[in-house]
Amino acid sequence: MSDIIRVKTITQFANAVKGEKPRHPLVTFIDFGRDNIEESKESFKIVSDFYSVYLKGNTCKNLKYGRQNYDFEEGTVVCIAANQVYEIEPNIDKDEPTTGWGLFFHPDLIHGTNLGTQIKQYTYFTYESNEALHLSDKEKAIINEIVQKIDFELDQNIDKHTNQLIVSNIELLLNYLLRFYDRQFITRTKSNQGILVKLENYLNAYFSSDELTLKGIPSVKECAENINLSPNYLSDLLKKETGKNTQEHIHLKLIEESKHQLLSSNKSVSEIAYSFGYSSPQYFSKVFKKYTSLSPTAFREHLN
């Protein structure tokens, strides 16, 4: 197994990839077809302290991270947050022209900006590799135009406008990627329905077994892992498809089971709460009332 290369700064990264200092210390844009890139003959693993956005060309045959390995088509965008380990296998077909680009920016660039406060809303930075974004030609043209503006700014002398213009364009790029992911969720409705069925089957099996008593309420992470998706991707997909995220689906299943217990047994509210893994009866009652507008006691009295 190859060692993991830790890259802390944009300067360190640019020196390693291009053999030169970056045009800006906190952000760099690399056009793999234009820039003089030192391509490795072997695959390598990397973890960085900055955000990375790749538009797949043929520069790397495979990009591997998380639990999945995905052979990307051209026109695929992959977004990777800091501290994620990923592996790149370089292009070995020298008869093909090298294509694709990468945009890399350090968190310090957006610190104190609107983008800095909103960066966590771009949950696709923590998606698995098989959850990448596949662009149409028109969509690819839009994001190419944006990164060209960033590239243009990096070629200018740094002045008081530089950072604002670069950050504004990065935010514009990320917002377009957010829109295009929404489009992808919508156009994959059939496969999304399969994911909903898998989640429902998992929750049904979990609640009908001893897992609930032994381990408590299933986490979003456990649900996602069971159907081979990342937690953020599953929640975003469910939100677009049903209006509710994964946590809300778990709670709705709990409420359904709670209602059954309240009406078919003589267990106290406290006993039911603890049997479902809630930390306290008060929290159980709060969640129950949120979804039913009644406390567990009032629900039992009303229907009995």
Considering the domain architecture, whether residues 73 and 175 belong to the same structural domain is answered as yes
DSSP letter (8 states) at residue 6: E
Using the Cα atoms of residue 251, residue 252, residue 257 and residue 259 in order, give the sign of their dihedral.
Answer: positive
* Residue where a domain terminates, one of 187, 202, 222: 187
152 neighbors 98 (Cβ within 8 angstroms):
no
Considering the domain architecture, whether residues 181 and 194 belong to the same structural domain is answered as no
Task: Give me the mean pLDDT over the 124-153 stretch.
Answer: 92
* Residue where a domain terminates, one of 130, 158, 187: 187
**HSE, side-chain direction, 13 A CA sphere, residue 235:** 18
pLDDT, tens digit, 9 for 90 and up, residues 75-134? 789 999 988 877 766 555 555 666 789 999 999 999 999 999 999 999 999 898 778 899
Which pLDDT belongs to residue 61? 47
> Which residues, listed in sequence order, are joined to residue 31 by a DSSP beta bridge?
101
- Banded pLDDT at 161 (limits 50, 70, 90): very high
Considering the domain architecture, whether residues 45 and 178 belong to the same structural domain is answered as yes
pLDDT, tens digit, 9 for 90 and up, residues 233-266? 999 999 988 899 999 999 899 888 889 889 888 8
222/88 Cα distance (integer angstroms): 28
234/188 Cα distance (integer angstroms): 13
pLDDT, tens digit, 9 for 90 and up, residues 53-80? 999 865 454 555 554 554 455 678 999 9
Task: Give me the mean pLDDT over the 196-220 stretch.
Answer: 87
85/212 Cα distance (integer angstroms): 33
pTM of structure? 0.77
Considering the domain architecture, whether residues 17 and 95 belong to the same structural domain is answered as yes
Separation of CA 191 from chain center: 18
| 276 vs 165, higher pLDDT | 165
* Residue where a domain terminates, one of 170, 187, 204: 187
> Residue 150: which domain range?
4-187
301/31 Cα distance (integer angstroms): 67
Separation of CA 4 from chain center: 22
Considering the domain architecture, whether residues 135 and 36 belong to the same structural domain is answered as yes
DSSP characters over 109-150: HHTTSHHHHHGGG-GGGG--GGG-EE--HHHHHHHHHHHHHH
